[in-house]
Structure 1
Amino acid sequence: MSKRVVTLAHYYTQPEIQQMADKVGDSLELSLYAKEAQADTIVFAGVRFMAETAKILNPQAEVILPDAGSTCSLVTQTDVAALKVWRESYPDHVHVSYINSSAEHKALSDWIVTSRNVDDIIAYLYEQGKKVIFSPDRNMGAYLNYQYGYDMPLWSAVCEVHDKFNEAALNEAFNAALGEKYLIAHPESPLPVLKKADYVGSTSGMLNWVKQFKGGSNAVIFVATEDGILYNMSLARPDLDLRQAPIYAGCQCNSCPYMKLNTVEAVKRAQQGEGTRIDYLTPEQMDAARIPIERMLEFSQRYYA
Structure 2
Amino acid sequence: MSKRVVTLAHYYTQPEIQQMADKVGDSLELSLFARESKADIIVFAGVRFMAETAKILNPQAEVILPDAGSTCSLVTQTDVEALRQWRESHPDHVHVSYINSSAAHKALSDWIVTSRNVDDIIAHLYEQGKKVIFSPDRNMGGYLNYQYGYDMPLWSAVCEVHDKFNEAALNEALEAVNSKAYLIAHPESPLPVLKRAQYVGSTSGMLNWIKAYDGAVSDVIFVATEDGILYNMRLARPELDIRQAPIYAGCQCNSCPYMKMNTIEAVKRAQQGHGTRIDYLSQAEMDAARLPIERMLDFSQRYYA
Shorter-chain TM-score bucket reads over 0.9
2:177 alignment counterpart: 177
Shift of 1:217: 2.1
Match of 1:153 in 2: 153
Identity %: 87
Q: Distance in 1 between matches of 2:241 and 2:158?
A: 29
Distance across 1 between alignment mates of 2:300 and 2:33: 13
* 1:272 counterpart residue number: 272
Aligned pairs for 1:199-278 (under 5 A) are 199-278=199-278
Instruction: Give SS of 1:215's match.
Output: coil
How far apart in 1 are the matches of 2:272 and 2:218? 47
TM-score (norm 2): 1.00
Supply the distance in 2 between the matched residues of 1:300 and 1:63 (Cα, whole angstroms): 24
Contact kept, 8 Å, 1:178 with 1:220, in 2: the verdict is no
Aligned residues: 305
**How far 1:175 moved relative to its partner?**
0.4
- Quick check: 1:39 aligned with 2:28? no
Contact 1:112 1:296 in 2 (8 A): yes
Q: Counterpart of 2:162?
A: 162
Partner of 1:126: 126
SS at the partner of 1:100? coil
1:281-296 superposed matches below 5 A: 281-296=281-296
Structure 1 unaligned segments of length 5 or more: list them: none
Q: Runs of at least 4 residues of structure 1 off by over 4 A? A: none
Q: Distance in 2 between matches of 1:86 and 1:262?
A: 34
Q: Which residue of 1 aligns with 2:116?
A: 116
Q: Please state whether the residue corresponding to 1:229 is helix, strand or coil.
A: helix
RMSD value over aligned CA atoms? 0.3
Secondary structure of 1:174's partner? helix
More displaced, 210-219 or 273-282? 210-219
1:165, 1:190 within 8 Å by CA — same for their partners in 2? yes
Q: Deviations over 1:147-185 (max 9, x none)?
A: 000000000000000000000000000000121100000
Give, as a single letter, the amino acid of the residue that structure 2 aligns with 1:287: D
**What CA deviation, in whole Å up to 9, does each residue of 1:255-297 have, x standing for no partner?**
0000000000000000000000000000000000000000000
| Aligned equivalents of 2:130, 2:143: Cα separation in 1 | 19
Distance in 2, Cα, partners of 1:215 & 1:148:
28
Q: Does 1:141 align with 2:141?
A: yes
CA distance in 1, matches of 2:171, 2:272: 48
**2-structure distance, mates of 1:214, 1:104:** 44
Distance in 2 between residues matched to 1:171 and 1:218, nearest whole Å: 19
State whether residues 48 and 70 of structure 1, in contact with CA within 8 Å, keep that contact through their aligned partners in structure 2. Answer: yes
User: Structure 2 matches for 1:182-197, cutoff 5 A?
Assistant: 182-197=182-197
Name stretches of at least 5 consecutive residues in structure 2 with no aligned partner.
Answer: none
- Counterpart in 2 of 1:78? 78
Q: What residue is the counterpart of 1:28 in the other structure? A: 28
Using the size of structure 1 for normalisation, the TM-score is 1.00
Secondary structure in structure 2 of the residue aligned to 1:64: strand
Q: Secondary structure at the match of 2:238?
A: coil
Q: What's the counterpart of residue 303 of structure 2?
A: 303
SS state of the match for residue 242, structure 2? Answer: strand
Partner in structure 1 of residue 53 of structure 2: 53
1: CA distance between counterparts of 2:167 and 2:160?
16
1:166-215: CA deviations, max 9, x gaps?
Answer: 00000000000121100000000000000000000000000000000011
User: Which deviations, in whole Å up to 9, do the C-alpha atoms of 1:217-245 show, x marking residues without a partner?
Assistant: 21000000000000000000001000000
